[in-house]
């Protein structure tokens, strides 16, 4: 008995189902890999330093940041790359932004901001990592992606409150500053090299994809 030849459209549809199934499996595997715990060493959560950032014309760029030990971002990036195997950019100077140029508006010298941050005891504190987070923004062509760590930083909120009070001193007009407008995050890798385009990062809880374990 001769079998009836399948219509070409049937083969095309079947092929599409196979491709879709493989795509789903790939995405599921990637999500599983990214959700595995990341690890940091206990000594990498101490001895962070407050530093003045390089001058930038971008109003979203940080003015002062809290910089980690050099090994921390490198170790985390290696863990990330081994899982996602994507071409990603890393910041030239990794750090947790403490104040942005748009917030300060040149009214306080960067060196004075650094002194204010040190007074809160940030450099002597031990940071606590909350999670590894991922943010994705659809764009024409390649979507923008950011991987970052969310931290608990003793002194961060106190510095932001003190900054708001300092900006309000002698102001003749209302100061548009939100102490809670910046969250303590360490940007790890992005699909685009312009990291300031992401700032300020808010609503971090929704972006968490993996826990961070302290060894």
pLDDT tens string 127-165: 999 999 999 998 777 789 999 999 999 999 999 999 999
Find out whether 132 and 209 touch, Cβ atoms under 8 Å.
yes
Mean pLDDT throughout 81-106? 95
Bridge partners (DSSP) of residue 147 are 134, 189
Instruction: Count how many domains the chain has.
Output: 1
Which structural domain range is residue 164 located in?
A: 35-214
Look at residue 9 and tell me whether its pLDDT is greater than 90. Answer: no
Q: pTM of the predicted model, to two decimals? A: 0.83
Respond yes or no on whether the N-terminal peptide bond of residue 15 is cis (omega within 30° of 0). Answer: no
User: Does 151 fall in a domain?
Assistant: yes
User: Does 22 fall in a domain?
Assistant: no
Question: CA angle 58-111-57, nearest 5°?
Answer: 10
Whole-number average pLDDT of the chain: 88
Exposure class string for 138-147: b at 16+ Cβ within 10 A, else e = eeeeeebbbb
Query: CA-to-CA distance for 208 and 35, rounded, in angstroms?
Result: 9
pLDDT for the residue numbered 176: 85
Cα separations (Å) of 146 from 86, 91, 143, 149, 193?
Answer: 12, 11, 10, 10, 10
User: Does 7 fall in a domain?
Assistant: no
pLDDT for the residue numbered 35: 80
Mean pLDDT throughout 170-175? 75
pLDDT for the residue numbered 7: 58
pLDDT for the residue numbered 123: 97
pLDDT for the residue numbered 20: 40
Per residue in 95-106, pLDDT (tens digit) is 999 999 999 999
User: Does 146 fall in a domain?
Assistant: yes
Mean pLDDT throughout 195-204? 94
pLDDT for the residue numbered 11: 52
User: Does 189 fall in a domain?
Assistant: yes
Phi, psi of 32 (to 5 degrees): -65, -40
User: Does 19 fall in a domain?
Assistant: no
Alpha helices in 99-155 (DSSP H): 101-104, 110-119
Query: CA-to-CA distance for 184 and 186, rounded, in angstroms?
Result: 7
User: Does 12 fall in a domain?
Assistant: no
User: Does 30 fall in a domain?
Assistant: no
């Amino acid at each position: 008995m001769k079998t009836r030849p399948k219509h070409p459209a049937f083969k095309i549809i079947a092929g599409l189902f196979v491709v879709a199934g493989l795509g789903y499996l790939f995405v599921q595997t990637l999500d599983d890999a990214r959700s595995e715990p990341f690890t940091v060493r206990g000594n990498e959560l101490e001895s962070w330093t407050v530093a003045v950032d390089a001058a930038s014309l971008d109003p979203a760029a940080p003015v002062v940041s809290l910089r980690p030990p050099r090994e921390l971002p490198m170790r985390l990036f290696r863990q990330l790359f081994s899982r996602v195997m994507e071409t990603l950019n890393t910041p030239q100077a990794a750090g947790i932004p403490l104040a942005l140029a748009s917030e300060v508006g040149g009214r306080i010298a960067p060196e004075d901001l650094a002194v204010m941050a040190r007074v809160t005891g940030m450099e002597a504190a031990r940071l606590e990592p909350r999670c590894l987070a991922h943010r994705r923004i659809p764009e024409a062509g390649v979507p923008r992606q950011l991987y970052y760590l969310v931290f608990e930083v003793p002194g961060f909120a106190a510095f932001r409150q003190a900054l708001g009070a300092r900006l309000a001193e002698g102001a003749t007009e209302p100061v548009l500053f939100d102490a809670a407008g910046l969250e303590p995050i360490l940007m790890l890798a992005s699909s685009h090299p312009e990291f300031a385009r992401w700032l300020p990062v808010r609503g971090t809880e929704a972006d968490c994809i993996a826990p961070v374990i302290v060894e």
